[in-house]
Chain A
Amino acid sequence: MIEVEHLSKSYGPHPAIEDVFFTVEPGEILGFLGPNGAGKTTTMRILSGYLPASSGTARVAGYDVHTQSMAVRQRIGYLPENPPLYNEMTVLGYLHFVARIKGVSAGDRRKQVDLAIQQCNLETETQTLIGRLSKGFRQRVGLAQAIVHNPPVIILDEPTVGLDPRQIMEVRKLIKGLAGNHTIILSTHILPEVSMTCDRVAIINHGRIVATDAPDTLMEELIGRLGYGVEIGGMSQLLTQKLMAISGVREVQVEDIPDSARTRLQITCHGETEPGSAIANAIIKSGCQLHEMRRTRPTLEDVFLELTTEEEPLPTVDTPIDKVDGDDPELIVDP
């Protein structure tokens, strides 16, 4: 339903997105994840026809976004980062206006507007001026305008920003309910939401796609990266070195617990190894007291941070510090 190939956009010399490549199947929900400034909004704007790309192609519902813009616009609903609301109109008036310009025929308009109002829980505010609405309601009106004409493709740029947890849940329910009949692409920072609503996730960083896959698959890639959370007393540098020396251990993070003599260690391990007993032995043998030890599994947050954090080589006296794009090559899944 949505096919994006080699999409690039530069503002002068500065590239916003480069060689972006992903597809969304009909009826699917794709989550678009990335840090601020990664290029999410730029990509969404290109898909909606608001921005022209510098190069590459994007096709929505079989129509090219650049050469067949009108056909694309008839088939999409778009909620930008800031909902495009007319403050002097009432909610009902606004939705009728949007239905008109999106081409909903006069006979269907009433029904579609009522349906959108119902789906977005706006029944109590239909006669209220938009300028007087709270942020949550404004966001919902924005959502309503994206779905009022029942478009096959819906593009949502941060649909839950500014909503309270209950409203977020309602929006999530709404989006999940729309899937199947509609193809949805949504961008967000809120990671748990992504794993709960989206069928697939595309992670973008610095204008490039670094991973596209189902959230579970992405997390499975890291499942091998088991870890252990350990709370000990009597911490010493020696222990850290001993732990690093264990073959399965990749990294040890040390955190002092304030107001106590205890320290918390987060140990991440390689691949499929389970150096649990080796770790416990090392701790006991070095004379520390082991208070707690448990397994930790990675979350989508870890995947996100993993894929979007740059690795810096440890600074030494002689070499200058270089920033290197350290996205782990193991985790770039070819779409």
Chain B
Amino acid sequence: MTLLANIFAIFRKELQSYFLSPLAYVVAGLFWLLSGIVFVYLLLSPNGIIQEVAIGEQSGIPMPPVDVAYIFLLRYLGIIGSLTSFIVPMLSMGLYAEERKNGTLELLATSPITNWAVALGKLLGVLMFYITLLIPMLVLELVAFAAADPPVPPAVPLVAHLGLILLAAALLSLGMFLSSLTQSNIIAAILTFALVLLLAIMDLVGRQLGQPYEGAIAHISLIKHYENLVQGVFDSSSLFVFASYIILGIFLTAQSIEILRFQRS
């Protein structure tokens, strides 16, 4: 089917360009460095979870059995989620801004490929790049969890990482839309940072307000649903919320590119 072939062509091009881009390597290096530091700190440092549990056991205070791996995962992915929210703007900023700046949007706009197919292909491309960023992290976690006692059921980290990927996808999708609004990478990045902050504030405010606001905001808060998934609460409503954000981003991108047609001079 040509549609799939088109989407795949854009996906491939986008993914290749990330692997050729110096910026992407800087972002990757930063991400790995920081996630590595956090990993080691959370797990092994004097304030880390292993010590914490050990001290707890030695102090004699009766403590409920602690699933070290599970708590580690919660804390670790909590931080990685925030880290992701900060690097997503740098990954998504160039998706459309570069094309507009270089004039290559003209090529896509005069080829037999629809706006939303381009948007979907680009999103998949950048998401795949993000997933490759996660791979070293996953390896570290595998090593750590292999030594866990009791052994970690594979579903738990799987669902947690699914949450991470969905969070990234939703933010990348919205970031892609913001990138389509401008020719400047920097403006796109700033707008996306602002959006991330806005979502964080919305979630924070939601927790402070009492019901019913808290419930309403929690329903649409990306952060809340991410936490759910990380905790292993696999609720279909979470999937819907993520899917909605992702589809919203793609839809808005396609519309904004279409509107561009009428603004050109």
Contact = CB atoms under 8 A, between A and B. Distances in A.
A127 interface: no
Contacts of B113: 101
A310 to B, nearest CB: 24
A50 B110 contact: yes
Nearest to B113: A101
Interface residues of A, number: 28
B110 A89 contact: no
A52 B110 contact: no
A213 B86 CA distance: 61
A52 B265 contact: no
B5 A52 contact: no
Contact of A49 (B2, B104, B109): B109
Given A52-B261, A101-B10, A102-B112, A84 B20 contact: no
B207 to A, nearest CB: 44
Interface in B213-265: 261-262, 264-265
A102 B111 contact: yes
A147 to B, nearest CB: 14
A85 interface: yes
B112 A73 contact: yes
Interface residues of B, number: 28
B68 interface: no
A74 interface: yes
A84 B6 contact: no
B211 interface: no
A97 B108 CA distance: 11
B143 to A, nearest CB: 35
Interface in B3-33: 5-6, 9-10, 12-13, 16-17, 20-21
B56 interface: no
Given A84-B103, A87-B102, A101-B9, A52 B112 contact: no
Interface in A264-315: none
Nearest to B17: A88
Contact of A84 (B9, B17, B106, B265): B106
B54 interface: no
A80 interface: yes
Interface in A14-64: 45, 48-52
Contacts of A103: 2, 112
B104 A84 contact: yes
Nearest to A142: B107
Given A97-B13, A100-B5, A85 B104 contact: yes
Given A84-B104, A97-B9, A76 B110 contact: yes
Contacts of A88: 17, 20-21
Interface string B31-54: 000000000000000000000000
B17 A89 contact: yes
A53 B6 CA distance: 27
A93 B16 CA distance: 10
A98 B20 CA distance: 19
Interface in B166-212: none
Contacts of A50: 106, 109-110, 261, 264
A15 B97 CA distance: 29
A316 B108 CA distance: 56
B134 to A, nearest CB: 24
Given A51-B264, A84-B104, A101 B17 contact: no
Q: Which of B9, B17, B20, B110 is the most central at the interface, judged by chain A CB atoms within 10 Å of its CB? A: B110
Contacts of A93: 16
Interface in B109-128: 109-114
A45 B106 CA distance: 9
Contacts of A85: 102, 104
Q: Which 6 A-B pairs have the closest CB atoms?
A: A84-B107, A100-B9, A73-B112, A74-B112, A84-B104, A48-B110
7 contacts: A51-B264, A73-B110, A78-B106, A84-B105, A88-B21, A89-B17, A101-B112
